[in-house]
Structures are given as structure tokens and as C-alpha cells.
Chains A and B, each alone.
Chain A
Amino acid sequence: MTRLAARWLGRAALVAVLLVLAVLAGTSIGETAIPLPVVAQTLANKLYGAGYPLDRIDEGIVWNYRLTRAIVAACCWAGLAVAGIILQALLRNALADPYLLGISAGASTGAVLVTVAGVGAGAVSLSLGAFAGAVTAFLLVALLARAAGGGQGARGAGQIVLAGIAGSQLFNALTAFIITRSASAEQARGIMFWLLGNLSGARWDNVATALPVALGVTLVCLWHVRALDAFTFGADSAASLGVPVRRVQVLLILAASLATAVMVSIVGAIGFVGLVVPHAARLMVGVRHTRLVPAAALMGAMFLIAADVLSRILVPGQVLPIGVVTALVGAPAFALILAHGRTAR
């Protein structure tokens, strides 16, 4: 084995260990604290049939509630952070993220349409609806930015964000329209709660969608780290460096949309993730995607587990919507990043 491969294996192992620790911590901490040994024993029981005598309720909370919640949380933010990196690199825009560009809003509209209108059924069609909404929103925003005069470079940077704001407004309005027109009062309340970002419904079937999508999108992104680097000086420069620009753009934007759509359909539109995490990761490991992508995925995963834990213990007896916590933490964090970036330049 080469030294390089050994180093990469070492890093991957470190990442895996950190993630497992974060998930365990997220499982253990909560309104009723469950000691780590109980968490570990539950896992042993479930995974290997170890047969430790445990309280059935504790076991149920750990396995069916907290563990799924922590895993889904980790997947969501890893996926959204990677989506943010993809968009920032391809659009060469530090402000690009699924939320600001209206992709999340489009995904919400798609998901709500599926829920309310009953087009199809089940978690898969919900994700598919969200995916269709996300892709539609991105195409619309990209077209609008183009019509407004270019999607790249310093001038285009402003245009695409403006177009994203317009797109977000449009799709949020559509969502509201669909809810008021067609949803029952009970549906409406559920949807509003979900739109703010809510992990409480995360169960094993959600893990089954979120985990493969988060891993898959991260892997696709890792496969293209050099291509993403090549966009540093723009798409033409990337092309002259041998990157099949159109193919990479389509593939990676679809991947980012898929990640956004699946995460939105499971936990709702959580703001700021794709924006804050990549920037924080850049401050720590630099701008090269070889390191940035894994770092951001890991940081995203851990950050959302932490935010989820906070959402459960901040107000005793009540679970805050996760979107509230992430925005409360994310907005000041982003302000700090902006200020820091300015002085460091």
C-alpha cells in the first residue's frame, strides 16, 4: 500500500470515528438523558442480538427515535453542505446555496404538491416531487439570471442571487397557494411545522433514503474534486484544463438538487446550511476541494447533530423546530465568517 493511500485511509477512518461519536452523542443527549452505555448496549442488542437486559422504553427511544434522528440529521447537513460547495464552485459565487437560490423553495413546493394533491404516495414519491421542484426552480433561476445578463463573473454573481430571491419568493408563494387552496387545517399545520425544519418524524425509512443519497452525492462530488478546482478561473478555464464542462455542470447540479430535494422532503427547508458550513470549512482547510468536500460534509453532519440536540434541550419540555436553531446559530456564525474574511484579506 502506498503512503498516500495509507494517509487517505487514516483520514477516512478518523472521519468515520468522529461521525460515529457524534451520532452516539446525539443519541444519548436529550430531554431524558440516556447514558452512553445504554446506547451502546441497545446497539449491540439490535445489531448483534447481544441480549443485554434493558428498559424497553429506553431501548425504543434510542433505536427508533434518537438514533434515526441523529443519522438523518447528519445526512441532511452533509448533503446540503456538499450541495452548497457544488453550487458555489460551479457558479463561482460565494453566496450560492440551495436556500438562497430557491432550490429549497422549489423542493418544498414539489413536496407539498405531492402531499396535498396526493400525486403518488409514500416517501419515495415525496422525494421525487421535491426533486422535480428543485430542478425546476434551479432551471428557472438560471434562465432568469441569464436573461438578466450572465450567470458568471462579478456581474453575474449579483444577478443569480437576485434571480434566486425572485425564485424563492415565487415558489414560497406557490407553496402557500397550494396549502390555502387544497390542504385541510390539520394538513396545513403539519406542513407549516415541517417547512420550518423538523426532525421529529425521522424514522428508519427516512434513513433508508437520506443515507444513500448523502453518501452518493458526497462520493460523486469527491470524484469530481479536481474538476471543481478547475472552475476557479471560470468555465472556459475549466474547459481548457480538460474538464467536460457541460457534463460536469449537469451531473453536479442534478446531484446538488437531489441532495436538497431529499433533505427538504424529510426535514423541511433548513436555511443557511449550504452557505455557512462550506465557508467555515474553507477557513479551516482551505479552498481546494480535495480537502474541502470531506471537511464540509463532516462539519455539516456534526453541526446539525449538535443543533438538533440544542433544539431538544434549549426550551425544557418543548422541541424547537430545527430550522430555528440552525438560523439562530448560523446567522451570527455567518456574520463572523464575513467579518473574519474581510480582515484576513
Chain B
Amino acid sequence: MNGPIDAPPSLEAEALCWPARRAPILRGVSLAVRDGEMLGLVGPNGSGKSTLLRLLAGLLPPARGEVRLLGRPLRRTPRREVARLVALVEQQAETLERITLRDAVELGRTPWLSALRPWGAEDDGIVAGAMAAVDVQHLAARDWASLSGGERQRAHIARALAQRPRILLLDEPTNHLDIHHQLALLELVAALPVTKVIALHDLNQAMRCDRLAVLQAGRLIRLGPPAEVLTPELLRDVFGVRAAFVTDPEDGARLLRFLSIS
């Protein structure tokens, strides 16, 4: 699924730094997310992927630089308005409250509701649709504590979808999932009809993205289509591994094979 190449940026980062002093995690990251694309963030542990996502979501104020949402500075956009456009699926957001899966998904309607605009039939429909999109309707009445890791992750995505966002930010959503659920989840995310920015660890999974942004020590060092970005040289320099591309004889797909640590 390739995004349109010359669509205007829906979310832009310009020279983002965080924090300003002492051990900066991000040092001047600029990138523009294109409308409808699936942009992958890759990089070693501690390279700043999560921080970048949190800045893009407006959860952290940039120490320097600016995030623009549909051309408007994020800092000057009310939180509620941001939440109607951007949804974030965090790594391992957990709760001890005894809520059901449906309760968790219904939270996604928060930015659209107020004391004067109470819950309505429309919200019921959106929540049902969001649960259907990630195939958790049958779990709606289950207690959160009784859900598996994969089910919880899908519930979080349903919650994010219930926000009806234009842009979905996902922080390593396949973490802690078994291989079947990893693939199923990625498939599902790729098919969602929204703009996606997704932090990923598995580089072969990252090959599915329309574009990849490679972060190293807080800098954006490469941005482009996966096949151009993930070269053996880059993998050696950034991840410290020797790797080669092999072609699967079954379907001709290019796969990364890791040979050894360099």
C-alpha cells in the first residue's frame, strides 16, 4: 500500500530537540509525514523513537523546534482538537481498574464528548466499528485483567480508532506479542485507512512501511523507501550488525538475513 507521493504533509517536525540541556535524546529532527502513508521509525534502543512519537503527539513540548499539525503549530492547538486528529497507541499502557474491553475502547470518544455533548447512539456505532476493525467485538464484555497481551494491544488500537483520528501514532505495537499476533497486528495496522507513524524494532516488519525514518543517537540519519534506506552499510553503521538481503524463492520477497554482529 503506497501512499501518494506528493500529498501535503499532515504532520511536520522541524528541528526538534529534547531535552535542551544534558544528554539530549533528540538533536534537531525534521521530517514531514505525508497524508495516507505508513511511516516507520527504526533505530537502536535509546535512539529516540519513543521520544519523537511523544513529541509528535504533543505529550512533550519540544525544547527547541516545532511540530506542525495540518500546518498549525501543535503547541498552540488545544489538546482536544489535537486528540480529534492524532491518536497515540503507547507501549504497554496498563491499568489496574476493573474495566471491560468495551470501556477501554469507549475512552476513545473522550475528545468528542463533554458535559454538554453526552454519549449518543453515534458513539455506540463508532465504538462498535472500531472493535470490529481489530476483531475484538467478541471480547467486548471481558475484563481487562483477563485479556492477553495481543488482545490488549488490539483494544488499544480500537480505542485509538474510536478517536476517529487522521493520524495514528504507534509505539512498538508488536512488542511482547508472539509471531502470529505480530504479523496479524501489522497487517491490520497497514490496512487502516489513516496516516500512520509506527516505531518498529523488527526490520523485516519495517520493510512493509511506505517510508522509513532511521534514528541514531537522536538524529534522523536517513528517510526514504525501505529498500533504499536499509542497506547493508547502514545496518552495519547504525545497528552494528552484518546483514544481507536474500530473496525468498517462494514469493520473491526480499528479506534481511542477519549474519553476525560486527
Binary flags per residue of B21-55, CB closer than 8 Å to A gives 1, else 0: 00000000000000000000000000000000010
Q: Closest A-chain residue to B88, C-beta based? A: A240
- Residue A232 lies at the interface, judged by CB distance under 8 Å to chain B: yes
Residue numbers in A under 8 Å from B97 (CB-CB): 232, 287
Q: A287-B97, A288-B103 are in contact. Are A236 and B90 (CB under 8 A)?
A: yes
Residue numbers in A under 8 Å from B107 (CB-CB): 229-230, 232-233, 237, 241
Which of A4, A222, A234, A345 is within 8 Å of B93, CB to CB?
A234
Binary flags per residue of A215-255, CB closer than 8 Å to B gives 1, else 0: 00000001101110110111011011111110000000000
Q: Smallest Cβ distance from B88 to chain A, in angstroms?
A: 4
Bound CA–CA A226/B110 (angstroms): 6
Which of B54, B82, B90, B115 is within 8 Å of A223, CB to CB?
B115
Which of B95, B98, B108, B114 is within 8 Å of A241, CB to CB?
B108
Max chain A Cβ within 10 angstroms of own Cβ: one of B79, B84, B113, B120: B79
Q: Closest B-chain residue to A345, C-beta based? A: B145
- Is the Cβ of B59 less than 8 Å from the Cβ of A236? yes
Residue numbers in B under 8 Å from A154 (CB-CB): 96
Residue numbers in A under 8 Å from B108 (CB-CB): 241
Q: A230-B107, A230-B110, A233-B95 are in contact. Are A244 and B118 (CB under 8 A)?
A: no
Residue numbers in B under 8 Å from A225 (CB-CB): 115
Q: Smallest Cβ distance from A233 to chain B, in angstroms?
A: 4
Residues 267-299 (chain A) with a chain B CB within 8 angstroms = 282, 287-288
Which of B78, B80, B99 is within 8 Å of A232, CB to CB?
B99
- Residue B17 lies at the interface, judged by CB distance under 8 Å to chain A: no
- Residue A94 lies at the interface, judged by CB distance under 8 Å to chain B: yes
Q: A234-B93, A237-B93, A240-B59 are in contact. Are A287 and B98 (CB under 8 A)?
A: yes
Q: Closest B-chain residue to A237, C-beta based? A: B93
Q: Closest B-chain residue to A229, C-beta based? A: B107
- Is the Cβ of A94 less than 8 Å from the Cβ of B110? no
Bound CA–CA A222/B116 (angstroms): 12
Residue numbers in A under 8 Å from B79 (CB-CB): 239, 242-245
- Is the Cβ of B58 less than 8 Å from the Cβ of A239? yes
- Residue B216 lies at the interface, judged by CB distance under 8 Å to chain A: no
Bound CA–CA A232/B144 (angstroms): 11
Q: Number of residues in A with C-beta < 8 Å to the partner?
A: 28
Residue numbers in B under 8 Å from A288 (CB-CB): 99, 103
- Residue B87 lies at the interface, judged by CB distance under 8 Å to chain A: yes
Bound CA–CA A288/B119 (angstroms): 13
Q: Closest A-chain residue to B87, C-beta based? A: A240
Residue numbers in B under 8 Å from A92 (CB-CB): 95-96
- Residue B57 lies at the interface, judged by CB distance under 8 Å to chain A: yes
- Residue B153 lies at the interface, judged by CB distance under 8 Å to chain A: no
Which of A4, A226, A232, A233 is within 8 Å of B114, CB to CB?
A226
Query: How many residue-residue contacts, CB under 8 A, span A and B?
Result: 79
Bound CA–CA A225/B106 (angstroms): 13
Residue numbers in B under 8 Å from A282 (CB-CB): 98
- Is the Cβ of B96 less than 8 Å from the Cβ of A94? yes
Q: DSSP class of A's interface residues: helix, strand, loop or mixed?
A: helix
- Residue B195 lies at the interface, judged by CB distance under 8 Å to chain A: no
Which of A223, A240, A287 is within 8 Å of B103, CB to CB?
A287
Bound CA–CA A146/B59 (angstroms): 19
- Residue B251 lies at the interface, judged by CB distance under 8 Å to chain A: no
Bound CA–CA A236/B169 (angstroms): 13
- Is the Cβ of B104 less than 8 Å from the Cβ of A232? yes
Q: Closest B-chain residue to A93, C-beta based? A: B96
Q: Closest A-chain residue to B98, C-beta based? A: A287
Binary flags per residue of B57-69, CB closer than 8 Å to A gives 1, else 0: 1110000000000
- Is the Cβ of B94 less than 8 Å from the Cβ of A242? no
Q: Closest B-chain residue to A94, C-beta based? A: B96
Bound CA–CA A237/B84 (angstroms): 14
Q: A236-B90, A242-B83, A243-B110 are in contact. Are A287 and B59 (CB under 8 A)?
A: no
Q: Smallest Cβ distance from A228 to chain B, in angstroms?
A: 10
Which of B54, B57, B98, B118 is within 8 Å of A4, CB to CB?
B118
- Is the Cβ of A233 less than 8 Å from the Cβ of B115? no
Residue numbers in A under 8 Å from B114 (CB-CB): 226
Max chain A Cβ within 10 angstroms of own Cβ: one of B84, B88, B104: B88
- Is the Cβ of A232 less than 8 Å from the Cβ of B95? yes
Bound CA–CA A240/B90 (angstroms): 10
Bound CA–CA A233/B118 (angstroms): 21
- Residue B111 lies at the interface, judged by CB distance under 8 Å to chain A: yes
Residue numbers in B under 8 Å from A237 (CB-CB): 90, 93, 107
Bound CA–CA A233/B105 (angstroms): 12
Q: A241-B83, A242-B83 are in contact. Are A229 and B95 (CB under 8 A)?
A: no
- Residue B174 lies at the interface, judged by CB distance under 8 Å to chain A: no
- Is the Cβ of B59 less than 8 Å from the Cβ of A239? yes
- Is the Cβ of B110 less than 8 Å from the Cβ of A242? yes
- Is the Cβ of A222 less than 8 Å from the Cβ of B115? yes
Bound CA–CA A229/B159 (angstroms): 13
Binary flags per residue of A323-345, CB closer than 8 Å to B gives 1, else 0: 00000000000000000000011
* Chain A interface residues (CB < 8 Å from chain B): 4, 92, 94, 154, 222-223, 225-227, 229-230, 232-234, 236-237, 239-245, 282, 287-288, 344-345
If A94-B96, A230-B110, A233-B95 are given as contacts, then 10 extra A-B residue pairs at C-beta distance below 8 Å, sorted by A number, are A233-B93, A233-B94, A234-B93, A236-B59, A237-B107, A240-B86, A240-B87, A242-B79, A244-B80, A287-B97
15 A-B pairs (CB sep. < 8 Å) = A4-B118, A92-B95, A233-B95, A233-B107, A236-B59, A239-B58, A239-B59, A240-B83, A241-B108, A242-B80, A242-B84, A242-B110, A243-B110, A244-B78, A244-B80
